Chain A
Amino acid sequence: GIQVEQSPPDLILQEGANSTLRCNFSDSVNNLQWFHQNPWGQLINLFYIPSGTKQNGRLSATTVATERYSLLYISSSQTTDSGVYFCAVVGGASGTYKYIFGTGTRLKVLA
């Protein structure tokens, strides 16, 4: 099945700093999503981005499907950005319809 790797595994930032999170996947995919798991455990949809670039406020994401990676950019980070960021992909040669999650990037933003 598809392997999904995220980097870095852990990240500590000062408030106001920018960061880039990476998601690599081992096969072609039909779709890719980024999620933020907040400190209360909720999984919040950030981007649904099988290819191209999208922006939403201070966050943006780019997926280069042909090179099998996606990037999540966080600008001017705030303490509320803390939590775990997951990417999840669906598809691949096997034709599976289940989203496979990466191992996550744990982000802590310090005031």
Chain B
Amino acid sequence: EAGVTQFPSHSVIEKGQTVTLRCDPISGHDNLYWYRRVMGKEIKFLLHFVKESKQDESGMPNNRFLAERTGGTYSTLKVQPAELEDSGVYFCASSQQLTGELFFGEGSRLTVL
């Protein structure tokens, strides 16, 4: 069974550009989460989907970040326009049940120059 996959693994963009990160959860997992780790610090929650609905987006830093999960399968996280402080590693995770075991992808490292 395939795990959580994320694309791209690393993206380098200029300040002001747009980047879209993609996450494919484990098949059958209705719960999909986005987290990020900035400057090697804590892993911070961004948002949580249940199927295609946003259950909790309290961690989204501002309106430059837009997450979607059309059809309740894969999800995208778009940053537009990117700022220097957006650099970090963006992790996607999925779980079968609401408070069930969480499985993480390998992360997408974003570098904004």
Tell me whether B33 and A45 are in contact (CB under 8 A).
no
CB nearest to A42 among chain B residues: B106
Most buried by B among A43, A96, A104: A43
- For residue B89, CB closer than 8 A to chain A, the reply is yes
Q: Nearest chain A CB to B47's CB is how many angstroms away?
A: 8
- For the complex, would chain B's binding face be called helix, strand, loop or mixed by DSSP majority? strand
- For residue A73, CB closer than 8 A to chain B, the reply is no
A residues less than 8 Å from B33 (CB atoms) = 98-99
- For residue B91, CB closer than 8 A to chain A, the reply is yes
Tell me whether A97 and B56 are in contact (CB under 8 A).
yes
Tell me whether B102 and A88 are in contact (CB under 8 A).
yes
- Which residues of B come within 8 Å of A, CB atoms? 31, 33, 35, 41-45, 48, 55-56, 58-59, 89, 91, 93, 98-104, 106-107, 109
**Which 3 pairs of residues, A with B, have the shortest CB-CB distance?**
A43-B104, A101-B43, A30-B99
- Which residues of A come within 8 Å of B, CB atoms? 30-31, 33, 35, 41-43, 45, 48, 86, 88, 90-91, 96-104
Known contacts A31-B99, A90-B99, A99-B33, then 11 further A-B pairs from the complex at CB < 8 Å, ordered by chain A residue? A41-B106, A41-B107, A42-B106, A43-B91, A45-B103, A86-B43, A88-B102, A98-B56, A101-B35, A101-B42, A103-B41
